């Protein structure tokens, strides 16, 4: 397990092992993991400690888009695929991302630098098409902006 059990137990205690606190519990546990996900082993541990089923844990992870059951890259790129972004060139932006990153939506690059996923609207419709990288919002995206953003994230000094 990548997260320290001592810290996980502290989180469980803080929320008194309550099922109603499962979302914040999982969010905090996920933050402990550098790869920003809840491993199967961890899901099993939390389920046992909270005396709930592992299925219940996965129901919450699946429902709540900020929770992950697979490791994420250093840069977690979430491309909005809700209506406003969809009609303002989201496909063009998606193609630019796929081409720049060399991965499809739902994948993580081999060097673990990037994960690309869809996300529902996160309130940046006024600057659509939009995406988030970790928690930073990028809007009014164009193909050249994507090239520049990816290049900066890679740490390239030339553009
Ligand atoms: S529809 Fe894309 S941010 Fe709202």
Instruction: Output the CA 120–ligand 1 centroid distance in Å.
Output: 7
| 10-residue mean pLDDT series, the chain (159 residues) | 84 97 96 90 97 96 88 93 95 97 95 93 97 95 97 75
Instruction: Output the CA 74–ligand 1 centroid distance in Å.
Output: 23
Angle at the Cα of 39 (from 26 to 152), degrees rounded to 5?
A: 85
Cβ-contact 36, 2 below 8 angstroms: no
Reference 148, options 110, 73, 93, 105; nearest CA is 93
Q: Where are the beta strands (DSSP E) in the chain?
A: 75-80, 114-119, 131-133, 136-138
User: Residue 82 has what pLDDT?
Assistant: 96
Residues with CB under 6 A from ligand 1: 80, 82-85, 121-122, 124-125, 128, 130
**Exposed, middle or buried: residue 57 (CB in 10 Å: 0-12, 13-18, 19+)?**
buried
85 CA closest ligand 1 atom index? 2
Instruction: Output the CA 144–ligand 1 centroid distance in Å.
Output: 20
User: Residue 97 has what pLDDT?
Assistant: 98
Q: How far apart are CA 47 and CA 63, in angstroms?
A: 17
The whole model's pTM is what?
A: 0.75
């Amino acid at each position: 397990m990548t997260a320290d059990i001592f810290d996980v137990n502290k989180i469980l205690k803080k929320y008194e092992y309550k099922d109603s606190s499962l979302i914040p519990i999982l969010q905090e546990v996920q933050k402990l993991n550098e790869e920003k996900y809840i491993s199967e082993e961890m899901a099993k541990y939390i389920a046992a400690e909270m005396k709930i089923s592992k299925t219940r844990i996965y129901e919450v992870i699946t429902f709540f888009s900020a929770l992950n059951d697979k490791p994420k890259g250093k840069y977690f790129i979430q491309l909005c695929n809700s209506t406003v972004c969809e009609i303002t060139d989201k496909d063009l932006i998606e193609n630019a991302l796929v081409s720049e990153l060399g991965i499809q939506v739902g994948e993580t690059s081999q060097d673990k630098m990037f994960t690309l996923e869809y996300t529902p609207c996160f309130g940046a419709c006024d600057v659509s098409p939009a995406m988030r990288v970790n928690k930073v919002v990028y809007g009014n995206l164009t193909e050249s902006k994507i090239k520049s953003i990816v290049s900066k994230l890679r740490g390239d000094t030339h553009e």
